[in-house]
Structure 1
Amino acid sequence: MLLFEQAEKIQSQLGHKLCNSLLIFTLVFLVIAECLRNRRPRNFPPGPLALPLVGNMFSLDLRNAHRAMTELAETYGKVYSLKLGSTWTVVLNGLSTMQEALLNKGDILNDRPVIPLHVDKDRNQGIIFTNGHLWKEQRRFALFTLKYFGVGKRSLESSILNEFIYLSKEFANEKGKPFNPHYIINKAVSNIICSLVFGQRFDYCDEKFLKMTHLVDKVAQIEGSIWTQVSQMKSKMFTVVVIDFVTHISKYLKIEMHSSNLDPSEPRDFIDCYLNEIQKDGVVDSVFHEENLVTCVFDLFVAGTETTSTTLRWALLYMAKYTEIQEKVQAEIDRVIGQSRQPSMEDRPKLPYTDAVIHELQRISNIVPLSLPHVTKREVQLEGYKIPKGVTVIPNLTSVLFDKSTWETPYTFNPGHFLNKEGKFVKQAAFIPFSLGKRACLGENLARMELFLFFTSFMQRFTFSMPPGMEPVFKPQASITLKPSEYEICITQREVCQSRI
């Protein structure tokens, strides 16, 4: 009996040792497998060592990913790779690299990667995150329709200047006291999109309009967190907010009303044009349908409101800080336009300093620092490296907009970056805040028009300053864009303009 018990004890000990050995072997095998999986393919762009499971997550400050990615380029070159989550990502840095990738080889890099965050939202609908035939048709249609309704023309110019009158009254009502201009500016910019989509503007107190602008702001805030972008994590909050927006916008679109009053020969807005496209006969497997219309409107609102509104908020902050630049802009506007009329796009060539300030504001505020991700359709070679099909590619716009070899003082607000010795405006090839290629910002022409007319009107009518004892804070909040931290500002009417409001 004693021998039997001892045998059982030895067998049990051997069993435990065998289990432990198997466990250790399994762990070692998994670690080795993960290390092998983290090895870069042959002739793949270099980069920092990718750790098992977490990849290069600890190589980046996710609150300041664009700066971290720019610094990594100094070590690993203009084209390098990172393991973000379970997938390889290639980061492009420098103007020549982006021109080669997005212009010369744009046909291979025109697609967007599948981002889980957007799957529930659009199911391959809309303009921004679609690919192939669907994307080409939606972008072609949107560009044509925006142009039809006045983007780049006098008709839309009048709408923007008219909206400024409403905005200026809101500013004047504050009577020079400190206030946060965030949502007032959001409403004004959103109304320009409303005039294109709905064919009308809305009162700033309209409850449905207020909810819509609030939802757009919320969507941009959730969608734009750097962590969400680089890790491609789903967000239940994002899905809930987007569904709320889509439900709200679907009711607000009044598609049935548009359909019943539709005159194909005289479309009133984007919705009418889209409904006309839906009703075309003989279209097989059309990519135009009412569900896609709602998603396209969603994309137009988020892209068309967020970027311009954010740039204008940065503009007020920089003008309050650099009062000597503000005064110089005002003097040029007074000299060229005066006070008897509103600005016009025709004034732009006659306002080189003002134009330079607007460009410098866009450069230094760096609204979309990492652009939007691309994905390779097939294998492509960049800077001598081989990038396989299906790899996510990030154009690091920060590396171009702050390139020390291009800009005299890259981290200082300096309108001189866009002026020659004679004070004339000079275009810069490295000015690419809207990115490059066929995936460049759809609303670039609209944004340029809005920024010039709103900013010039601001400077013509008002003076901007910080509240007594307050200093402007230029540390951005990470969202879909780099937003300024919430701030209060004092806006006073210029004496020469008092009688005009």
Structure 2
Amino acid sequence: HFYNDSCGENIISSLEKIIFLTFSLDDPSSYLTMELTTLLVSAVVLLVIFLWFRRSDPRLPPSPMRPLPLVGHLFNMSRDSRQLFSKWRHQCGDIYSLYLGGAHVVVLNSYDIIKEALVKKADVLSDRPPFFIDQATCIPDKGVVFSNGNSWKEQRSVSLSILRAFGMGKNLLANRIQDEASCYVNYLASLNGHATDIRVMTNICTSNIICSILIGHRFEYDDQDFQNLMYKMGLVVSDQQNVSLVNFMFWLKYLPGDLFRAKRITTNVHAVLDLLKKFIDEKKRHMEDSSDVCNLIDAFILERNKKIQAGISTTLDDKSLTKIMFELFIAGTETTSTTICWCILYLLHNPEVQDKIYAEIKEKVGTSRAPNIQDKNQLHYVNAVIHETQRLGSIVPLSVTHMCSEEVTLRGYTLPKGTYVLPNLDSVLHDKVT
């Protein structure tokens, strides 16, 4: 018995009286409508009371506070989740539960528990939950980032093998990065020391590297298709904060207007996908059946053709290729350019580190040429600065959300099938112990 029976009866009786005054009893249809409305309101009230007083399952990880009915802990969240999650860790320990809308979310803190979950129990914790940006593409079962099962395994395996091939032997990937880096440095030098916001150009240069890998060539910065692609992608990324609530309450996207930017994200996602399809169609028209390929589109299509000719069932179709390109653009561009901007910001505030970097490059490489990938093993201090930037910046503090494909036990707690799992990388990167 979760609530006082007489109290519940009084609430329902009062609601009935209010609704009674709202309708005319002279009309039988009004009376029927009143009865149905009374039944509906009573059911909602009883549901809310039940959810509020429901006891939590002791097998689940603890929660920092009692969740509200229907919305859970959504109203307790803030824009800056870092301090909030750290506070809840001190309160509940290295593993705790949150309820966001109808989703049960388990947050993992510390290196040991994240490794146990995502490495030792990766077979049941590698699935992805549904996310709005993925649903907005209308091909949610394609690609690598959000797909699951055999489709994910095949597309991930093929994508990794192609990218690794580009990075080995001929050092194709390194050469293209080097070429774009030269254009980036030349642009900075052309400013002649004048103050500027480098974020836009850093983003453009990073995207151009992605373009050269996927399509086989870079774009001039004034190219219309490239500028359109960059603009649409920028809107998709910038609107992600607004749509975060829709990830847990999908029905919000159907509300009138566009309060959560769901409709705008859908429009821009489709615009980006249309541009990527255009690139794929152009490449297919000029593609030669050769094993000597220098871009992801050609390599992907050749791999697909080999499997079809061998009679092997495959998920490698044009939709999968489009989705993989979309994911590489969205994820690869934003994370890389943001990390570069953080590195430059840290160096501006630590000029002594700049001096040490310059001294090492001057000693190990010289000043007659730019450093390249072959110099990496000699530039120990430069590598340390890059790694420390990634640690301090922690630009994706909650990594990528995972989901339990079946019930699993973790640190003595039960995680039911369908539970969302959030690895809190900040708890590792900013932990004094690790």
- Shorter-chain TM-score bucket reads 0.7 to 0.9
Under a length normalisation based on structure 1, what TM-score does the superposition of the two structures give?
A: 0.73
Q: Which residue of structure 1 lines up, in the alignment, with residue 144 of structure 2?
A: 127
Question: For the Cα contact (< 8 Å) 1:84–1:230, is it kept in 2?
Answer: no
Q: Which residue of structure 1 lines up, in the alignment, with residue 380 of structure 2?
A: 352
2:117 counterpart (61, 76, 101): 101
Q: Helix, strand or coil: the match of 1:90?
A: strand
Unaligned runs of 5+ in 1: 1-12, 407-501
Unaligned runs of 5+ in 2: 1-13, 22-34, 254-261
State how far apart, in whole Å, the 2-side matches of 1:356 and 1:266 are.
36
Shift of 1:349: 3.0
State how far apart, in whole Å, the 1-side matches of 2:221 and 2:425 are.
35
In the alignment, is residue 185 of structure 1 matched against residue 185 of structure 2? Answer: no
State how far apart, in whole Å, the 2-side matches of 1:378 and 1:156 are.
39
In the alignment, is residue 389 of structure 1 matched against residue 417 of structure 2? Answer: yes
1:263 counterpart (266, 273, 289): 289
Shift of 1:65: 1.6
State how far apart, in whole Å, the 1-side matches of 2:200 and 2:114 are.
35
Q: Helix, strand or coil: the match of 1:394?
A: strand
State how far apart, in whole Å, the 1-side matches of 2:367 and 2:103 are.
57
Q: CA RMSD in A?
A: 2.5
In the alignment, is residue 326 of structure 1 matched against residue 342 of structure 2? Answer: no
Question: For the Cα contact (< 8 Å) 2:140–2:146, is it kept in 1?
Answer: no
Q: Which residue of structure 2 lines up, in the alignment, with residue 273 of structure 1?
A: 299
Q: How do 1:127-206 and structure 2 match up within 5 A?
A: 127-150=144-167, 154-206=171-223
1:311 counterpart (331, 336, 339): 339
Question: For the Cα contact (< 8 Å) 1:70–1:396, is it kept in 2?
Answer: no
Q: Structure 2: which amino acid aligns with 1:404?
A: K
Higher helix share: 2
Question: For the Cα contact (< 8 Å) 2:215–2:297, is it kept in 1?
Answer: yes
Shift of 1:70: 2.2
Shift of 1:33: 2.3
State how far apart, in whole Å, the 1-side matches of 2:19 and 2:395 are.
58
Under a length normalisation based on structure 2, what TM-score does the superposition of the two structures give?
A: 0.83
State how far apart, in whole Å, the 1-side matches of 2:283 and 2:373 are.
35
2:270 counterpart (237, 243, 247): 243
Q: How many residues align?
A: 390
Q: Structure 2: which amino acid aligns with 1:124?
A: D
Question: For the Cα contact (< 8 Å) 1:375–1:390, is it kept in 2?
Answer: yes
Q: Which residue of structure 1 lines up, in the alignment, with residue 248 of structure 2?
A: 231
Q: Helix, strand or coil: the match of 2:239?
A: helix
Question: For the Cα contact (< 8 Å) 1:336–1:350, is it kept in 2?
Answer: yes
Deviates more, 1:319-328 or 1:362-371: 319-328
State how far apart, in whole Å, the 1-side matches of 2:337 and 2:343 are.
10
State how far apart, in whole Å, the 2-side matches of 1:266 and 1:18 are.
75
In the alignment, is residue 118 of structure 1 matched against residue 118 of structure 2? Answer: no
Q: Which residue of structure 1 lines up, in the alignment, with residue 405 of structure 2?
A: 377
Q: Could you say if the C-alpha distance between residues 339 and 377 of structure 1 is closer, same or farther in structure 2, counting changes exceeding 3 Å?
A: same
In the alignment, is residue 79 of structure 1 matched against residue 106 of structure 2? Answer: no
Deviations 1:245-269 (A, max 9, x none): 111221133x254245321432231
Q: Which residue of structure 1 lines up, in the alignment, with residue 428 of structure 2?
A: 400
Q: Structure 2: which amino acid aligns with 1:366?
A: S
Q: Helix, strand or coil: the match of 2:97?
A: strand
Shift of 1:331: 1.6
State how far apart, in whole Å, the 2-side matches of 1:151 and 1:174 are.
35
Identity of aligned pairs, percent?
36
